[in-house]
Amino acid sequence: MPITTTRRRLLAGSAAALALPAFARAQGAVKPRLTAISQWSAGSDGAAITALGKKFEEKGGVWQHSPVPGFTTEMMNKLRAQIIAGDPPACSQLKGPEIAAWSKIAPTVDLDAVVAAAGYEKVVAPDLAKLHKPAGKWIALPLQIYSTNMLFLSKRAMDKAKADKVPVTWAEFNDLAEKMKAGGVAYPVANGGTRPDDGQKFEAALAGISPAVYRTAIMTLDEKALKAPEITAAFVQVRKIADWMDPNVGAQHFSTNLKRFVDGDMGMMIMGGWAQGVLRNAGFKFEDFMIAPGPSDNGKPVFLLNADAFIFWQRKEPDLQAGQTLMAQLVMDPAIQTMYSQITGSIPVRTDVDLSGEGWSDGQRRTAAALKEAIASNQAVLSLAHNMAQENGMTAAMIDVITEYVKNKTIKPEQAATRLAEAVESAR
Amino acid sequence: MTIAASTGRGRPATSEVVRRLPEILTIWVPLLLSAAHLIAFSLWTIWISFTPSTLVPVAGWVGLRNYSAVAASRNWQIALDNLLLFGSAFVLLSLATGLILAILLDQRIRGENLLRSIFLYPLAVSFVVTGTVWSWLLNPGLGIQKLVHDLGWTAFRFDWLIDRDMAIWTIVIAAIWQSSGFAMALFLAGLRSVDADLIKAAQIDGAGAIRMYRRVILPTLWPITITVIVIQLQFAISTFDLVRALTNGGPGIATQLPALVVYDLMFQRSLLGRGAAAAVLMLLILLAVLLPYAAWRYIQRRRAIHA
């Protein structure tokens, strides 16, 4: 494979160039260029990727980012069209098992050399690393991490409940919800009504009850695990949560109700870390709410991983290849990850970044600490609701069952567990 | 048709072609292009529905496997039940509303033009707007229920939007609001074209208003009624934007409709083959409505020629 050899050589050369920037500049025959597509067009996501582009340009590159606003699926439609046309972007946003699925329809870049040169593998959560090297070689790089099961507590609702202790287990969570209800909080659980929102309730419940069953049932789809009593227990917990939610939200986005949450009309929110950025953007203060890892019955934090990533598509043009190498180096750079996460409210992929300095919030520090602990106790698992655990088709089949269960209170938890196992079977 | 007729008379003169050029360019070229477009893509979709395509179209043959997978899925079954309920309720109710509005407008009332515009106006609004506005009106925490509660009647309940058994009716309501004006316009045109002599004859025979409508005027409207039914039915079958904006298939998956399932399979789940199979099934449902209509039209025309 002559092409691979050339790229190898190029990557090796670039790795050397990183060590000797002056030398590289003198040698630089081509100006690195990067064509990229992502859905990040506005808000903190847009700001973050624009800042990344600036850094790319500072290093002498040409940054050509075409955002596709809207849902991830719309970005995928553009990517699909470009791949079918034989003109994929040099790099595109893609995450989770979709990386493996999409890498089968078009050739990707082997990033092993540049990843090895950066010593990156040691500082990435193992489950996460696996997703980015589906056939054993790195073809994609994670950019930032969110936990989907952070617990947000409204200060005013806590005051109403006369409580100040953050619940650690589901039993404590349920106690606090009851206290809030008794104290006059109309809806102890704040929520939206979207599919991922419902999915997050379930994954938080199951992973909090048993991360081991979550791993075997949801991540590896083990038939026996899907029939485990923990699944039913998770559905029982989801029903409790559903009973504390405002049924009127319909299909609204969770952010619609943030004011009621801060006002203490709603008490707790199980949401991804991104909600912190949304709350801050909406003008609420850190004093208005608390952030903690989601409930975990064994007391140690469970971390439901959601990570954005870039996948690199094979291109023949030397300037694009140089651009890919530069981009890969930037994405792995702790300084760049710091910059990116500080804008979006996520946490860095690298577990060796120090978050004690300025620019980080308490919530981010707590999230990063939770990730470290969760990795140590093997309780960092991949989010189902945010397409990290399974491919889109399987995810959608499972979320169908969950979202129907959340909204239809005549379905029994046992029934839901059976339906979940059936949905997995028919989607396989 | 004219071209066929002219070839019958031999080759048309060059000047004839030049004279016809605007007609050829403005009618035949777009018509042929869109027909080719429609047919080519329909055939392509049919082909895809028999392949194992997922993320991107791939060659291969899986027989009816995509079809059986779609037909067995809960989403599709719910979508079909909903289509049956939504389709019949929407068509009948919009027909009735349109007819009543048309008859009322037909009473030579003052401000008819204004009222007609108002009733027709929703048709000019995009379905996404209709869906969004109704999703606010019907939301119990924001819309009609809250308004009535604030007025003092706190026992009032109108929470169909979040009730999974009744949610499909919210789509019926919004769809009727949007399109009964259309039915009204067609019926009004029909009412106006009833032969004046017929009405006079009925009046001379001493028929009252109700009897006149029942026995004389309405029976002349039935060709229009069938046209309205067919147009509304094909709208009902392909409803997508309205339900997406109003309930997005929810609560849960209670208001799934076939078009939503197709979109979901193709673009959310990246299962192109199954999505195509669902689209072909939708086409078959549509044909089940349109073919009898076309046959009926054909028979009507034959009869008219023979008579």
Residue A326 covered by a domain: yes
| Cβ pair A396:B264 closer than 8 A | yes
Q: B162, A248: Cβ pair inside 8 Å?
A: yes
Each residue's pLDDT tens digit, A272-296: 988 887 888 788 888 899 999 999 9
Tell me: do A316 and A396 sit in the same domain: no
Percentage, residues of chain A above pLDDT 90: 74
Residue A169: is its pLDDT beyond 70?
yes
Minimum Cα–Cα distance from B135: chain A residue: A250
Residue A353 lies in a domain: no
Counted across chains A and B, CB pairs separated by less than 8 A come out at 78
Ranges A4-8, A304-308, A395-399, B210-214: which has the least confidence: A4-8
| Chain B: residue whose CA lies nearest to A396 | B269
Chain B interface, best mutation among A191, A195, A197, A425, by max B CB count within 10 A: A195
The secondary structure element, H or E, covering residue A143 is strand A140-147
Domain segments of chain B as ranges: 1-48, 67-306
Q: Mind listing the pLDDT tens digit for each residue in B122-169?
A: 988 999 999 999 988 998 888 898 899 889 888 888 888 888 889 999
A329/A287 same-domain check: no
Nearest to A371 by CA among A394, A385, A386, A355: A355
User: Same domain, yes or no, for A6 and A134?
Assistant: yes
The pLDDT tens digits for A318-376 are 999 999 999 999 999 999 999 999 988 899 999 899 999 888 988 899 999 999 999 99
Residues 194-223 of chain A whose Cβ lies under 8 A from any Cβ of chain B: none
In this predicted model, which residue has the larger pLDDT, B26 or A27? B26
Per-residue pLDDT tens over the stretch A245-261: 998 877 778 888 899 99
Cis-peptide into A211, omega within 30 deg: no
Which amino acid appears at position A147 of this protein?
Answer: S
What ipTM does the predicted assembly reach? 0.70
SS3 annotation, chain B: CHHHHHHHCCCCCHHHHHHHHHHHHHHHHHHHHHHHHHHHHHHHHHHHCCCCCCCCCCCCCCCCHHHHHHHHCHHHHHHHHHHHHHHHHHHHHHHHHHHHHHHHHCCCCCCHHHHHHHHHHHHHCCHHHHHHHHHHHHCCCCCHHHHHHHHCCCCCCCCHHHCCCCHHHHHHHHHHHHHHHHHHHHHHHHHHCCCHHHHHHHHHCCCCHHHHHHHHHHHHCHHHHHHHHHHHHHHHHCCCHHHHHHCCCCCCCCCCCHHHHHHHHHHHCCCHHHHHHHHHHHHHHHHHHHHHHHHHHHHHHHHHHHC
Per CB-CB distance under 8 Å, the chain A contacts of B164 are 407-408
Q: Is residue A100 assigned to a domain?
A: yes
Place A3 in a pLDDT band, splitting at 50, 70 and 90: very low
Contact B72 A426 (CB under 8 A): yes
Q: Span A34-55, mean pLDDT? A: 91
Do B56 and A405 make contact, defined as CB atoms within 8 angstroms?
no
Predicted local confidence at residue B23, as pLDDT = 84
Identify the weakest region by mean pLDDT among A216-230, A252-266, B271-285. A252-266
For residue A2, the SS3 value is helix
Find, in chain A, the residue whose alpha carbon is nearest to that of B167: A250
Question: Are residues A44 and A134 both part of a single domain?
Answer: yes
Rg (CA), chain B: 24
Q: Identify whether residues A313 and A300 lie together within a single domain.
A: no
- Chain A residues closer than 8 Å to B254 by CB: 404, 407-408
Q: Are residues A282 and A192 in the same domain?
A: yes
CA–CA gap between residue B196 and residue A357 (Å, rounded): 88
Task: Return the pLDDT at B10.
Answer: 53
How far does CA A327 lie from the centroid of its chain? 20
Chain B interface test: which of A404, A406, A411 (most B C-beta within 10 Å): A404
Residue B11: per-residue pLDDT = 60
In this prediction, residue A257 carries a pLDDT of 87
User: Which residues does chain B have within 8 Å of residue A405's beta carbon, measured at their own beta carbons?
Assistant: 252
**Considering only CB atoms, which residues of chain B are within 8 Å of chain A?**
54-57, 69, 72-75, 135, 139-142, 159, 161-162, 164, 247-248, 250-254, 264, 267-271
Picking from A171, A240, A207, the residue whose alpha carbon sits closest to that of residue A386 is A207
Instruction: Give yes or no for A101 touching B (CB within 8 A).
Output: yes
The verdict on A225 and A165 lying in the same domain is: yes
Task: Quote the pLDDT of residue A1.
Answer: 36
| CATH architecture, domain defined by B67-306 | Orthogonal Bundle (1.10)
The range of the structural domain enclosing residue A385 comes to: 150-304+361-427
Q: Is residue A298 very low, low, confident or very high in pLDDT (cuts 50, 70, 90)?
A: very high
User: Half-sphere exposure (CA, 13 Å, Cβ side) for A401?
Assistant: 27
Chain A residues with beta carbon closer than 8 angstroms to that of B141: 246, 248-249
Question: Per-residue pLDDT tens for B5-20?
Answer: 444 455 656 788 888 8
Q: Which of A157-171, A274-288, B6-20, B53-67 has the lowest mean pLDDT?
A: B6-20
B252 with A396: Cβ contact below 8 A:
no
Question: What secondary structure does DSSP assign to A306-328, as a single string?
Answer: EEEEEEEB----HHHHHHHHHHH
Work out the average pLDDT over B250-255. 84
What SS3 string covers B138-159? HCCCCCHHHHHHHHCCCCCCCC
List the single residue in B with minimal CA-CA distance to A404: B252
Of A317, A348, A379, the domain-final residue: A348
Distance from CA of B49 to the nearest CA of A (A): 16
Residue B82: its pLDDT value, please? 95
B306, pLDDT greater than 50: yes
Instruction: Determine, for residues A248 and B141 on separate chains, whether the beta-carbon distance falls below 8 Å.
Output: yes
Which chain B residues touch A84 with a CB distance below 8 Å?
Answer: 56-57
Whether A344 contacts chain B with CB within 8 A:
no
Question: Are residues A289 and A240 part of one domain?
Answer: yes
Q: Write down the pLDDT at residue B3.
A: 45
Residue A391 and residue B271: Cβ atoms within 8 Å? no
Residues A276 and A368 in one domain: yes
Q: Has residue A154 been placed in a domain? A: yes
What's the gap in Å between the CA of A397 and the closest CA on chain B? Answer: 9
State the total domains in chain A: 2
Which of A75, A84, A313, A403 is most worth mutating to test chain B (most B CB atoms within 10 A of its CB)?
A403
- Do A127 and A173 lie in one domain? The reply is no
Q: pLDDT at position A277, please?
A: 79
Closest partner CB to A408 (pick from B159, B164, B269): B164
The residue type of B190 is G
Distance from CA of B57 to the nearest CA of A (A): 9
What are the chain A neighbours of B74 within 8 Å (beta carbons)?
A: 400, 423
Cβ atoms A187, A266 nearer than 8 A? yes
Q: Is the pLDDT of residue A10 over 70?
A: no
Closest by Cα among A106, A58, A61, A62 to A84: A106
Separation in Å, CA of A350 to nearest CA in chain B: 30
Residue A52 lies in a domain: yes
CATH code at position A25: 3.40.190.10
Q: How far is B207 from chain A (nearest CA, A)?
A: 53
pLDDT in tens, B76-114: 999 999 999 999 999 999 999 999 999 999 888 888 889
Residues 6+ apart with CB under 8 A from A2: none
Q: Is residue A355 part of a domain?
A: no
Q: Mean pLDDT over all residues of chain B?
A: 88
Give me the residue from B69, B73, B140 closest to A248, CB to CB.
B140
- Give the pLDDT confidence score for residue B9 in this predicted structure: 52
Residues A77 and A128 in one domain: yes
pLDDT at B155: 86
In tens, the pLDDT along A345-359 reads 899 999 899 999 888
CB within 8 Å of chain B, chain A residues 378-417: 391-393, 396-397, 400, 403-408
The per-residue pLDDT for range B184-209, each reduced to its tens digit, is 999 999 988 888 888 888 888 888 88
* Binary contact (A408, B254; C-beta < 8 A): yes
pLDDT reading at A386 higher than 80: yes
When pLDDT is cut at 50, 70 and 90, the band that residue A4 belongs to is very low
Chain A 247-306, CB below 8 Å of chain B: which residues?
247-251
Q: Which of A393, A397, A407 sits opposite B251 (nearest CB)?
A: A407
A253 and A293 together in one domain: yes
**How many angstroms separate the CA of residue B163 from the nearest CA in chain A?**
9
Closest residue in chain B to residue A392, using alpha carbons only: B269
Q: Is A356 contained in some domain?
A: no
